[in-house]
Structure 1
């Protein structure tokens, strides 16, 4: 029987037993997606790394209406883009966004991220206990940071977060399309406003570019808004959970803050999901690890499994803040490496340093296996993270 995604997990930090069984058999597997379509699931670190930078794969499909889908989300559930112009379109997108994520701009942004983090932790520290770190820190910090970077009103956060969650719905395509439409329309209103009253932010710069139409600017801005807060919310929540589930790791950081930069890479490596992977479509026939991939096939690159490949990481199921985890694939690899990775690292570092400094006795208020994750949205992540100190 062909395994069906997503795989059941015994807890938010545990690997699905079915996925562990597959990984032990090899790096490439035939599976069925959550909507029942055939796909290839790639779990080996070397294979995933190679495929992420392989131009024989892409996000577009020659016949999108007949393409296999990984889920019902309008964002990543099926093919995206034009098959014939995909590479050029991707290059243009990165060229437009790269100037806003340069090392210099990120260094200038870091002190502001640290101040925002300190304010949020301070509010949580002086509030009731136990506190929900998910709602008190993991959610508001990435939203506030991406709002300031893009030029999105923070007062609109409840609206655009709701649209983002709906757009990421992996179970209801009509609902997902509605959320994506709302998000795009919101982006158009922001672009129009920035054309009238520009500021020093990403949307203003896109709106001021004579070669960028309003629809392109709105699409890029909303893609950044979605990815820039949803994924980091998940990373912060699961990262802190991993450290608190093994408090020796948290204590090690408190004792030696110099470990934090490496710990950031480790908490990016450590999380597992239910076997879903980054979706790509084969542009041509090719073979990998003995599997014959046909043009048009859906290939799911499972970053979580790749980051737990014992051939790449010793004792991979253990979160170890002293590990050299720089080879992780949490941000992808190669031509599609996440353009916002430097910003996510800044936020994670600020969170870890802030918590170690202000709340050295931080601990979970419930057992880790009592926590739940969202299975209905693209990014997943915790529903709550009760903590005390």
Structure 2
């Protein structure tokens, strides 16, 4: 089928709390469908839960392409090129090595040690919000500063330098200007290279210092890893806090249930993770060899998009998936992907989200949106479909 006859992938949801109708229609039709990507090339879109999970664990699917220059394009963005950190021939082994290097910094023990610090930062930000009085932009006043501060402390990036690296991250995330995104990536790696040199002279208890202690890791590799971790984690938790607050404020019965019973915070966080993801158009992968799945044959070299957002709304797994339910159990969402691709930052994200929502609602029990939900806007030019602002009052 010519690309022009294929359904086009939308680049953003129509509204903050809804999915593009074409995507839900494709999901209802069959689990894997041929689509035209935002860059104009062809890809297989995987929308159902079982097939998404299966392909995350299939070693015939990978992040790299044997011929990156000829790889089907997803979007013209530096982070969606088929080059990545790895060589195609050794991708899975290199990925496993990288996970082994980073896993100790996201261990349950380290997260427990970090939680009091997350609580302290959250309490300070909530006090500042209360002192300033309503209305407030929850994104700028709470979600983003908390997410950035915690990530900086974990990585070892000086928070005092946030204006500099935020500028580089924002540039790198720009979907509307490929030159700016590539320049942002190069400058962010350059900034990290300088930081690696500083950590070698004065190591601390953080990820970058720990990587510097690994003898076989050259400085440029450490800088590249640190840049990707900072970029990937920079506002992902902030986005979840924003959209989680939005879910609770537009589902007042669920908010009230959490207020009455704080033990529901954990379930609320899992439901936020299931429903808040608004990324697109799916996590890009390439077939390393022919794969038969879901009634189709994915040929070697073809692009595959694993849509975790739609998988989390698969009604064969989640009853009434469009309903936000803080008591949903079980809730086996794939917001953090699956298998060897499961996000290493998941424990950190859960610590932050649980701390925020255990503190925010009791501190502001009358919290409400300060504008109609229809007026909330997503940033179409950003790498993630994040809220531009989250105005609240109380």
TM-score by length of 2: 0.96
**Does residue 12 of the first structure (1) align with residue 35 of the second (2)?**
no
Q: Identify which range, 145-154 or 203-212, moves more after superposition.
A: 203-212
What CA distance in whole angstroms lies between the structure 1 residues aligned with 2:73 and 2:215? 36
User: Counterparts of 2:77 and 2:133 in 1: how far apart (Å)?
Assistant: 37
Alignment partner of 1:256 is 2:237: no
Aligned residues, how many?
389
Please, which of 54, 76, 97 is the counterpart of residue 102 of structure 2? 97
Q: Is this contact kept in 2: 1:282–1:299, CA < 8 A? A: yes
* Conserved? CA contact 2:73–2:81, under 8 Å: yes
Distance 1:219 1:191 in 2: 10
**368, 373, 378: which one aligns with 1:373:** 378
Say whether 1:44 aligns with 2:56: no
SS of equivalent to 1:211: coil
User: Cα–Cα, structure 1 residues 107 and 8, in superposed 2: closer, same or farther, change >3 Å?
Assistant: closer
Please name the residue that 1:330 is paired with.
335
Moved over 4 A (4+): none
Residues 1:311 and 2:311 are matched in the alignment: no
Cα distance in 2, alignment partners of residues 274 and 75 from structure 1: 14
For the pair 1:355 / 2:360, whether they are aligned, the reply is yes
SS state at 1:55 partner: coil
SS at match of 1:198: coil
Task: Tell me the CA shift for residue 8 of structure 1.
Answer: 5.5
Q: Structure 1: any 5+ residue segments left out of the alignment?
A: none
- Residue number in structure 1 paired with 2:157: 152
User: Conserved in 1, the CA contact under 8 Å of 2:270 and 2:331?
Assistant: yes
User: Secondary structure, in 3 states, of the residue corresponding to 1:114?
Assistant: helix
Trace 1:1-150 onto structure 2 (pairs within 5 A).
Answer: 1-6=5-10, 9-80=13-84, 81-150=86-155
**Distance change in 2, residues 1:243/1:314 (3 Å):** same
- 1:167 deviation in Å? 1.3
- CA deviation profile, 1:222-264 (whole Å, cap 9, x unmatched): 2221222221111111111111111111111111110001111
Structure 2 unaligned blocks of 5 or more? none
1:290 paired with 2:257, answer no
Note closer, same or farther for the CA distance 1:139–1:65 as it changes in structure 2 (3 Å cut): same
Deviation, structure 1 residue 275: 4.8
Is 2:251 aligned against 1:242?
A: no
**What does the per-residue CA deviation read over 1:198-217, in whole Å, with 9 as the maximum and x for residues that have no partner?**
11111111112212110111
Secondary structure of the corresponding residue to residue 332 of structure 1 = coil
Give per-residue Cα distances to partners, 1:253-299, cap 9 Å, x unaligned: 11111000111110000125375100000000111111110101110
What TM-score do the two structures reach when normalised by structure 1?
0.97
Deviation, structure 1 residue 7 = 5.1
Cα distance in 1 for partners of 2:222, 2:340 equals 21
Aligned partner of residue 259 in structure 1, secondary structure: helix
Question: What CA distance in whole angstroms lies between the structure 2 residues aligned with 1:7 and 1:106?
Answer: 35
Query: What CA deviation, in whole Å up to 9, does each residue of 1:64-108 have, x standing for no partner?
Result: 000011112211244423110101110110111111111101100
Q: Secondary structure at the match of 2:87?
A: coil
Distance 1:88 1:274 in 2: 27
Q: Is the 1:262–1:325 Cα contact (8 Å) retained in structure 2?
A: no
8 Å contact from structure 2 (residues 279, 384) kept in 1 = no
Of 376, 382, 387 in structure 2, the residue corresponding to residue 382 of structure 1 is: 387
